[in-house]
């Protein structure tokens, strides 16, 4: 007896996306695959730097100088820069929107492609110093027919996205992706430098046992939210109350919700009139993934993916997760209306 030889038939992310396109019979140009390759590269770069952050002084504030007297970039600045640079260099993008940049980036003609990418390069960055999971979130639109790439190509409902996903930087780097045909999860094999299919066809359980809200904001929450929370903490006799899990890092909280079920919520409240999360590059991609995994994503009263955004950094309330859990929240909003 000895060690099993390694598999010679590994399913990488690129192979998997290509095979999905073959099986759908789409005559793909390969453009989306190349764009996703660029995104994979940025995720590998960010994963490596998140891991090294403590050692090479990337934590803390931008503008600090290291021992060599060089300016150090904060991890989120670094993550933004790598994404802008590689998305532009891919030649497949026309418009980029980043949480880190006030204005959209319109790609110049000699690099222009057909896709628009909206992203939060490093979400949950308040968690970096504590070593908690953080992530990159992205959504992809195709430019409108005839458009050369303007802000109108990204001011569109999330239902028009052609792909969305996130990479979570934790004990391993995990990319979770949808191209509109279900959701798949891939784990970075650092020795190969490839994302390998590890979580095929992720489906959210129809009902979960976990709720994930920043309940410290309860005094600001509107009545339907507080009533809902009350209902899962003090259920009808015989039923068990839900467990609370809140990391405060959307990628990590949504990742757990996709895998285990339950509900994640960041509602609007008396203080934050539209909630906190950004519609384009936080709510839309996560709503798209959730629906593709069989769950629901709502503001409480409206399907998130149906909202027409009016500005690139606009915020929106979010409740997403297991279908029945999200329906329960909706009932409290209906009862209130």
Q: Is 53 helix (H, G, I), strand (E, B) or coil?
A: coil
Q: Give the shortest CB-137-to-Mg ion separation in angstroms.
A: 7
User: Which of 143, 164, 169 shows the shortest CA–CA distance to 287?
Assistant: 164
Count of all residues that appear for the chain in the document:
337
Provide, rounded to whole angstroms, the least separation between the CB of residue 214 and Mg ion.
Answer: 14
Q: Which is nearer to Mg ion, 31 or 100 (CB)?
A: 100
Q: Are strands 243-244 and 263-266 parallel, antiparallel or unpaired?
A: unpaired
CB count within 10 Å of CB 139 equals: 29
Question: CA-CA distances (angstroms) from residue 15 to 11, 105, 200?
Answer: 6, 30, 13
Residue pair 20/180 in contact by the 8 Å Cβ criterion: no
Q: Which does 248 bind (CB under 5 to 8 A by kind): ligand AHM, Mg ion, none?
A: ligand AHM
Of these, 16, 83, 104, 123, which contacts Mg ion (CB under 5 A)? 123
SS3 label, residue 118: strand
- Residues 156-195: x where in contact with ligand AHM by CB under 6 A, - otherwise, as a string: ----------------------------------------
For CA atoms 249, 254, 259, 264, the dihedral sign is positive
Of these partners, ligand AHM, Mg ion, none, which one is at the site of residue 323 (CB under 5 to 8 Å by kind)? none
Q: C-beta of 77: minimal distance to ligand AHM in Å? A: 13
Q: Using an 8 Å Cβ cutoff, are 294 and 238 in contact?
A: no
Residue choice 41, 48, 114, 214 for contact with ligand AHM (CB under 6 A) = 214
Mark residues 36-75: x for contact with Mg ion by CB under 5 A, - for none. ----------------------------------------
Interaction of residue 76 with Mg ion, rule CB under 5 A? no
Candidates 115-123, 235-243, 255-263, 291-299; binding stretch for Mg ion (CB under 5 A): 115-123
The site map against ligand AHM for 124-143 (x = CB under 6 A) is xxx-----------------
Q: x/- binding map, residues 231-270, to ligand AHM, per CB under 6 A?
A: -----------------xxx--x------------x----
Cβ nearer to ligand AHM, comparing 63 with 248: 248
Give the one entry of ligand AHM, Mg ion, none that residue 133 binds, where binding means its C-beta sits below a cut-off of 5 to 8 angstroms depending on kind: none
Q: Does 279 bind ligand AHM (CB under 6 A)?
A: no
Tokens of 267: 């509602």
Spell out the residues 6+ positions from residue 238 whose beta carbon is closer than 8 angstroms to its own: none
Q: Rounded to a whole number, what is the distance in angstroms from the first to the last CA of the chain? A: 68
Q: Least distance in Å: CB of 133 to ligand AHM? A: 10
- Token representation of residue 120: 């939060």
CA distances from 142 to 78, 94, 163, 284, 310 (A): 26, 9, 9, 15, 18
Name which position in 76, 120, 194, 253 contacts Mg ion (CB under 5 A). Answer: 120
Q: What is the DSSP string of 259-310?
A: HH--EEEE--BSSSBTBSSBIIIIIHHHHHHHHHTT-EEESSSSBGGG---S
Q: How many chain residues interact with Mg ion (CB under 5 A)?
A: 2
249 binds, among Mg ion, ligand AHM, none (CB under 5 to 8 A by kind): ligand AHM
Query: 284: how many CB neighbours lie within 10 A of its CB?
Result: 28
Q: Report the residue number, 149 or 261, with the smaller CB distance to ligand AHM.
A: 261
By beta-carbon proximity to Mg ion, the closer residue of 143 and 280 is 280
Residues in contact with ligand AHM by the rule CB under 6 A: 99, 120, 123-126, 214, 248-250, 253, 266, 276
Residues that bind Mg ion (CB under 5 A): 120, 123
């Amino acid at each position: 007896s000895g060690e099993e030889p390694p598999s010679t038939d590994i399913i990488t992310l690129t192979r998997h996306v290509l095979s999905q396109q073959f099986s759908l019979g789409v005559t793909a140009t390969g453009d989306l695959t190349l764009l996703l390759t660029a995104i994979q590269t940025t995720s590998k770069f960010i994963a490596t730097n998140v891991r090294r952050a403590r050692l090479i002084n990337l934590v803390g504030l931008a503008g600090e100088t290291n021992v060599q007297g060089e300016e150090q970039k904060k991890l989120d600045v670094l993550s933004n820069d790598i994404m802008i640079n590689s998305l532009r260099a891919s030649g497949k993008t026309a418009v980029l929107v980043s949480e880190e940049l006030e204005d959209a980036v319109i790609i110049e003609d000699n690099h222009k492609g057909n896709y628009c990418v909206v992203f939060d390069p490093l979400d949950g960055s308040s968690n970096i110093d504590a070593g908690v999971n953080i992530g990159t979130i992205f959504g992809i639109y195709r430019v409108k027919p005839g458009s050369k790439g303007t802000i109108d190509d990204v001011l569109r409902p999330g239902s028009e996205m052609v792909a969305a996903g996130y990479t979570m930087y934790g004990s391993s780097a995990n990319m979770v992706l949808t191209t509109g045909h279900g959701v798949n999860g891939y784990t970075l094999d650092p020795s190969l430098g490839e994302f390998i299919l590890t979580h095929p066809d992720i489906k959210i359980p129809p009902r979960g046992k976990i709720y994930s809200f920043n309940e410290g904001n309860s005094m600001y929450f509107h009545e339907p939210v507080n009533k809902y929370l009350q209902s899962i903490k003090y259920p009808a006799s015989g039923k068990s109350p839900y467990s609370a899990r809140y990391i405060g890092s959307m990628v990590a909280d949504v990742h757990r919700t996709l895998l285990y079920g339950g509900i994640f919520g960041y509602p609007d409240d008396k203080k934050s009139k539209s909630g906190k999360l950004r519609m384009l590059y936080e709510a839309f991609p996560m709503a798209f993934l959730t629906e593709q995994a069989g769950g629901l994503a709502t503001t409480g009263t409206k399907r998130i993916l149906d909202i027409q955004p009016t500005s690139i950094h606009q915020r929106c309330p979010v409740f997403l997760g297991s279908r029945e859990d999200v329906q329960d929240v909706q009932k409290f909003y209906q009862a209130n209306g």
